[in-house]
Structure 1
Amino acid sequence: MTAHTTLHKAPAAPGASGAPARTPRRRPASPARRSGWTPWLYLLPALVLLGGLLVYPIYQLGLISFLEYTQAQVSGGEPTTFQGFGNYATLFGDSQFWQVLLATVLFATACVLATLFVGCALAVLLTRIRALPRLALMMAALGAWATPAITGSTVWVFLFDPDFGPVNRVLGLGDFSWTYGRYSAFALVLLEVLWCSFPFVMVTVYAGIRAIPTEVLEAASLDGASQWRIWRSVMAPMLRPILIVVTIQSVIWDFKVFTQIYVMTNGGGIAGQNLVLNVYAYQKAFASSQYSLGSAIGVVMLVILLAVTLVYLRLVRRQGEEL
């Protein structure tokens, strides 16, 4: 019997037969991956500009806060020395700093709450009135918003002047001085800040209300909901992303108020009774030539604003809201 042997040919090695070996081709980047970088390319010029305008000044602010930097160092009479956290220790050991910080927090909170209340109320009012009154209200609000802070502050000081102002005559207050007392001065500044801040909230919230489907509001009205219930249960939840933006913006603006306080209280009021952190930093840096302490106050303000913003956003995220 003949044994038949079957020969199995081993697979030829690449390139053994003389044919060139094929190199694996790299897969082209997916369109989604390419498009992910496209927005950043468009934003790159703005990011570079903002980096130069914001990052470098913040770096210099933080650097000066760790140095001994007074008029002697500015003029070159004495060398600049590194103080570490010495300026912050001096600042936190000053009882006036804590009084000014508390006054700033309370004043900014009152301004933010008043601005949000008036702005949202007028935004709802704009949806309830006819075209001509709506146009008049919008133009008046935009005029207040466009007025420079120093101009508006000067006009408000004249309106409430105890000798020539028309407000005291209309209210029958005689020669009552609004800027003499601590709380009356803060109230006057609050009114001016509210006057120039509520238009931003009003216009932004009004645009958001216009984007809400009218069927939703009509259904709530047919169910017997009052205007306050419609706002609280229907409008406010749908406008939450917009309200987040205007709240954070109002906190930043009102916490660092400077011009209104400085102009209307003549640099912080009698014996500094109306000081806020921004005016306090200005006095330390430029009136007392303690630039390092003024920079330290600026760093503290920056940290406080960042902390408030991050905590607020964290609370919103916990509620499951999309930003």
Structure 2
Amino acid sequence: MRVGGGFPRPRGGSRRSGTAPRPRTGRSRTPWLYLAPALVVLGGLLAYPIYQLGLISVFHYTQAQVSGGEPTTFEGFGNYAELFGDGQFWEVLLATVLFAAACVVSTLAAGCALAVLLTRVRAVPRLALMLAALGAWATPAITGSTVWLFLFDADFGPVNRVLGLGDHSWTYGRFSAFFLVLLEVVWCSFPFVMVTVYAGIRAVPSEVLEAAALDGASQGRIWRSVLAPMLRPILVVVTIQSVIWDFKVFTQIYVMTGGGGIAGQNLVLNVYAYQKAFASSQYSLGAAIGVVMLVLLLAVTLVYLRLLRRQGEEL
């Protein structure tokens, strides 16, 4: 029996009753150990090419330097100054931004609408739609572009015959050519959005949707007020993916417009860089365009993620 006041000491003589336990650093490093092999592979596949791209962009590098006829000279930001001083570059940049924005909005609209449709149809139509969409997604870009060119061909295309347009050429006008390419880009891109959003919708508790329907909400109101906020992290992923893919479209433009259209009216940055690097043998200018595209995509992605974090979204 204790006579003195105070609380008994814990066994072992420890006095650290008021201090918090030390965090275990080994457990926090475990995920990085699992990610290390993938990070090494990605670093080798991405870091070195980006380094070479930036290196070539600050040198005077043409066919003469490739063949060894002339030495390579350091230009610093001279290639970027020449690029930014070219009026055609700014025209192509504006066309690329507008075209990519139209592709992203159209792809997200088509993918989300079909994802909602998948939740409304029975199993057999759902399976048929999924297989058709995945077939479009698996089709190589050059094959899909060739098929779309045939469908809209001025002489033999079935689209002109059905619409009664005669020998109308879709690739002759600037806006009609961009519209034709946009259709092909959306056709081969919407399945990714559709499948991803459909998986997210299936993960939403059915009680939430039933409660919204019982309250008298329409399908559009359910999407805006219930599904879209709950699917926001998924929509962020598909939006960023679509921005990256559509901003650097190359194959569809090159194949369907014959390398950029008449007098370069359908050029985008990727095709413009290809023409500068390989058609004109100005490899340093082509590399500078590639660096500009990389910086723009990183900036758009970081700004978008930052805005979402300010809204309290966990990514």
TM-score (norm 1): 0.90
Residue deviations 1:64-85, cap 9 Å, x none?
0000000000000000000010
**1:60 partnered with 2:52:** yes
- SS of 1:263's equivalent in the other structure is helix
C-alpha displacement of 1:227: 0.2
Distance 1:295 1:172 in 2: 45
Name the structure 2 match of 1:14.
none
From 171, 182, 188, give the equivalent of 1:190.
182
**1:314 partnered with 2:306:** yes
Name the structure 1 match of 2:173.
181
Q: Which segments of 5 or more consecutive residues in structure 2 lack a partner in the other structure? A: 1-20
Distance 1:317 1:52 in 2: 30
**1:70 partnered with 2:46:** no
C-alpha displacement of 1:32: 4.0
Name the structure 1 match of 2:90.
98
**1:261 partnered with 2:260:** no
Distance 1:227 1:99 in 2: 41
Residue 171 of structure 1 aligns with an amino acid whose one-letter code is L
Distance 1:133 1:31 in 2: 53
Distance 1:54 1:139 in 2: 33
Higher Cα Rg, which structure: 1
Aligned pairs for 1:1-323 within 5 A: 32-323=24-315
- SS of 1:196's equivalent in the other structure is helix
C-alpha displacement of 1:208: 0.2
Distance 1:185 1:144 in 2: 21
C-alpha displacement of 1:31: 8.0
C-alpha displacement of 1:33: 2.2
Distance 2:308 2:164 in 1: 47
- SS of 1:118's equivalent in the other structure is helix
Residue 250 of structure 1 aligns with an amino acid whose one-letter code is S
Paired-residue identity, %: 86
C-alpha displacement of 1:268: 0.2
Distance 1:135 1:32 in 2: 48
- SS of 2:120's equivalent in the other structure is coil
Distance 1:262 1:233 in 2: 41
Residue deviations 1:200-259, cap 9 Å, x none?
000000000000000000000000000000000000000000000000000000000000
Residue 114 of structure 1 aligns with an amino acid whose one-letter code is S
Distance 2:140 2:182 in 1: 16
- SS of 1:163's equivalent in the other structure is coil
Q: Which segments of 5 or more consecutive residues in structure 1 lack a partner in the other structure? A: 1-28
Name the structure 2 match of 1:12.
none
Residue 181 of structure 1 aligns with an amino acid whose one-letter code is G
Distance 1:123 1:214 in 2: 16
- SS of 2:167's equivalent in the other structure is coil
Residue deviations 1:93-147, cap 9 Å, x none?
0000000000000000000000000000000000001111101100000000000
Distance 1:248 1:312 in 2: 8
Residue 263 of structure 1 aligns with an amino acid whose one-letter code is V
Residue deviations 1:269-302, cap 9 Å, x none?
0000000000000000000000000000000000
Structure 1 96/240 Cα, relative in aligned 2: closer, same or farther at 3 Å?
same
Name the structure 2 match of 1:15.
none
Distance 2:153 2:194 in 1: 29
C-alpha displacement of 1:40: 1.1
Residue 189 of structure 1 aligns with an amino acid whose one-letter code is V
Residue deviations 1:6-43, cap 9 Å, x none?
xxxxxxxxxxxxxxxxxxxxxxx978422211111111
State how many pairs are aligned: 295
Distance 2:296 2:41 in 1: 25
Residue deviations 1:132-173, cap 9 Å, x none?
110110000000000000000000001100001111101111
Give runs of ≥4 in structure 1 deviating > 3 Å.
29-32
